[in-house]
Structure formats: C-alpha cells, structure tokens
Amino acid sequence: MESLGGAFKLGGTMLIIVVFACAYLCRIYFSSIRKSTCPEKSEIVIGFFHPHCFGGGGGERVLWKAVKALGDLRDAGIKIKVVIYTIDGKRDSYKKEIFHHVKERFATEFSQSLPIMFVHIGNGPKIPKKMSLIAQSVETVKLAWYALRQLNPHIYIDTTGCAFTFLVAKLAGCKIMCYVHYPTISTDMLRLVWERRPSYNNSSIISKNPLTSYLKLVYYIIFAIAYGFIGSLSDLVMVNSSWTHGHIYFLWVFARRRTRIVYPPCDTKSLQNLSLTNREHKILSIGQFRPEKNHTLQVKAFAKMMADHPELSKKGDVELLLVGGCRDEGDESRVNELKGLASSLGVSKSVHFVLNQPYPVLKQIFGQASVGIHTMWNEHFGIGVVEMVAAGLITIAHNSGGPKSDIFLPYGKDKLKTGYLASLEEEYADAMYNALRDGPNCDENIAIRKRARKSAQRFSDEVFNTSFKEVMLPNL
C-alpha cells in the first residue's frame, strides 16, 4: 500500500510539472507572436473578442461605444491600438462597411487618430448554437486559441460572455478584462432545475423526471464551479447591472474586488426629443422573437385586458404592436405560433407584427405608442426597456433582473412611480389597463413619462463613456 501511495504522489507531482511546463511553453510561444504582431513597444494593443461584431444588438452597442471611449483616451495622449476579432469574412471593403453600419445603427464615429484593426477568424472553429454549456465553452476556447495565434494583444477584452476564453488569454500573457451582460450560469438557473420548473432552458421532459433533474443539477453545479474559477482570472470585471453584479460576485469569488458596475450605453438622447403628448392607444413590445422574451405572455395579458374591459374594444384603436427581428426559421415559427394564439384568443385584429424594420421605423412607432411592455424573466439589464422609457412610454417590465434592481427605482424624495413591474398575466393586464384607463395623454401619464425620462438619463451614452474610461484608466 505504501508503494502504491508513493506512486500516486509521484504521478501527481509529475502531472503538476507537466502542466506548468506546458503553460511555460505556451507563454514563450505567444510571446513570440506578440513580438511579431505588436512590434510597437510604446503602443498598448487592446483586443476585443466579439466574433459577431457586425450585429445590431445591445452587445454590439457596448462594443462600439467602448471603442469610441478608447478613441477619447487616444486623443488624450495614451497610445492605444484597437483590434477586434470577428468571424466575418475578410474583404477589402469590410472596414468601410462596418463603420458605415456602426454610424447608421448606433450613431457612432471614432477618433481619426485611433488605429482600428480587424482580425478575421472565420476560418477557425465553429460554434453551433445548439450545444451543451460545456461543449460550447470548449469551442470558444478553441476559437480564442485560433484568434490569439493570429495576433496576441497586451489587453484582452471579452464582450460576449465567453469566460472560458480567459484561459487562453492567461496562457498568452494578456491582461484580461471583460464586460459581462449576463452570467452563463446563475443561481436562478440552479434553483429552476432544483424546483423542477419548466422553462425555455429547462424543458418539461427534464423537469418532470426527478432523475434527469438531479443529473442536470449536478451538471450545472460542476459547470458553475468551473465558470467561477475561470472567471476569477479576469483583472477587471465590468457588469451591466446590479442583478448581474450579484450573480458574478457570488460565482467569481476571487475577482470580487475587481468587479465594477458599468451601465450599458442606451440611446436616450435622440429618443428624448420625442413628444410626451399626442400618444395613441398603442402598446409596444420590442425584442427579437426568442423563447426567453416570452411574447406569449404579452398576447395572453393583452387578450385578458380586452376581455375584462370591453369598453376598450369599442374604442377600436387599442393595439398591441410586436416589433422585432427574426433571425432564422425558429423565430419565424414562433411568430406564426403567436399569430395563431392571437387568433384563438379573439384579438388577431388588434395584434400586429412589425418584423425586421430599420431603426427609423422603430423610432416613429416610439413616438406614437403610449405603453411599452417587456416580459422576459431575469432580463440582465434591459436596454430595450430603457429606450422605451426614454421615448416616453409608460413601461411595464418583468418584476425581476435589471428592470427591478436598476431601472424602475422610485424617483425623487417622494419615491414616485416611473413605471410598472409585473410577473403574472393578470398583473400585466391590470398594468396595461391602468396606463390606458384615463386615456394615453392624461395628466398622471404625462407626469410618469417626465419622471421616467429624467431617470433614464442615468443610462445614457455619455454616462457609459465616462464610466468606462474611469475603470479602464487604472488598468492601462
């Protein structure tokens, strides 16, 4: 037995030596890459890992506003160069195309003095959407390895939630930073599985079976431990809300002192030019037609309101507008299901879908609607919610996540209302009715809109710019 114990100790020691030797060789390998790809010693190269940088969502808005802020620091005398890793195909016109897209979608232009370079990693490993958490994380690690072999920056910033890529960045000798929109796994997800509640990420097939629920819980716990360890490698952690901060603080134990809340940039400035009066009996929903957005709840709540208050039907102009993008056949299928639901509930003539429209069309609807509705459970922040508030909509959001912890806080000394929070179908129906009961332009609604709009200024592009530079400067 003693000889067996000695063999285990020797094997363990050898394994540790091999691991450290491999890490050391990786550091030497990536150091040579940095010398050849970042020859200017006085220039700080900052690499953003954001494979889908040509997108038009909140994550891309954060990316480009962050790049703009770095341009301000460049103008202030700090020699910074920005690199963005993208899976988009390489072509001569790419930089011109994406800058035009960023200007049109996010009203953002960059300092002429800031060098911006794109590293195309589309030929690297692919990351299919339908994969387990572990399998997807492994694929992101492989993609990050491929990316940093092309160019190894001094500072590595992940803006897509791919925390396991930190392992590659650490081996490459990068200073690691990240902007976390939502944790890959959270205590709420663990609780959902423990309580065996069906959801978009916990199918009824699993939740109905005690054994599969137990196995999934064990799987989640193991993943959460690994996620917490890897996330703690970050030298600076920026999170987008108090809700996200709470989960990251719990999971990334060794990065707690380096975690800061930096609210995401929202388009409050241009939307605040919209009039707060002359609004119509329209209820607006914004968001991609993904399962977690729970558009079904919106249609059901609207139908209940109309059924409980037939006088609204007599007006003939009360409408629910579902505005959003369809990414694929799955989204299109959900839209068709929602249309069928509206028909079965007898409100098809009052429920309208506005799909894949440009921002000017959305802005026009913003200026017409009087009520906004958002039903996603545990929305990590809610850029769309803030935009509705800034546009002057009486907004009803889910009583969880960012809307609850950050957006709909009581306003002023008197703790006045800035919007509504709801969870159940009945609560949403009652909130919509309260917002429409005395007419969309009644004095109470105008007062709520004014307070909410002022409150939304906490999440402006300008506030993000200042906050981002404040947390970045000590780390450059």
Segment 470-475 mean pLDDT: 95
Q: Which has the closest alpha carbon to 89: 97, 81, 99?
A: 97
Classify residue 415 by its DSSP letter: T
pLDDT band of 211, cuts 50, 70, 90: confident
Q: What average pLDDT does range 244-253 have in this prediction?
A: 94
Look at residue 204 in the predicted model and tell me its pLDDT: 63
pLDDT digits (tens, 9 = 90+) for 297-340: 999 999 999 999 988 877 778 999 999 877 778 888 999 999 99
What does the chain come to in residues? 476
Q: What is the 3-state secondary structure (H, E, C) of 375-406?
A: CCCCCCCCHHHHHHHHCCCEEEEECCHHHHHH
Give the closest residue to 355 by CA, choosing from 291, 285, 297: 285
Rounded CA separation 223/405 (Å): 26
In the predicted structure, residue 8 carries a pLDDT above the cut 70: no
With a cut of 80, say whether residue 125 has pLDDT above it: no
Question: Cα(459)–Cα(109) distance, rounded to whole angstroms?
Answer: 19
**Mean pLDDT of the 266-288 span:** 90
Decide if pLDDT at 178 tops 70.
yes
> Is pLDDT larger for residue 18 or for residue 207?
18
**pLDDT score at 468:** 97
Task: Over range 73-89, report the average pLDDT.
Answer: 94
Q: Is the pLDDT of residue 5 over 70?
A: no
Burial class for 275, CB neighbours closer than 10 Å (0-12, 13-18, 19+): exposed
pLDDT grade for 82, boundaries at 50, 70 and 90:
very high
| Distances 71 to 27, 263, 468 between C-alpha atoms, Å | 30, 19, 12
> What does each C-alpha distance from 199 to 146, 211, 218, 310, 403 come to in angstroms?
35, 18, 18, 32, 20
DSSP assignments along 108-121, one per residue: ----TTS-EEEEE-
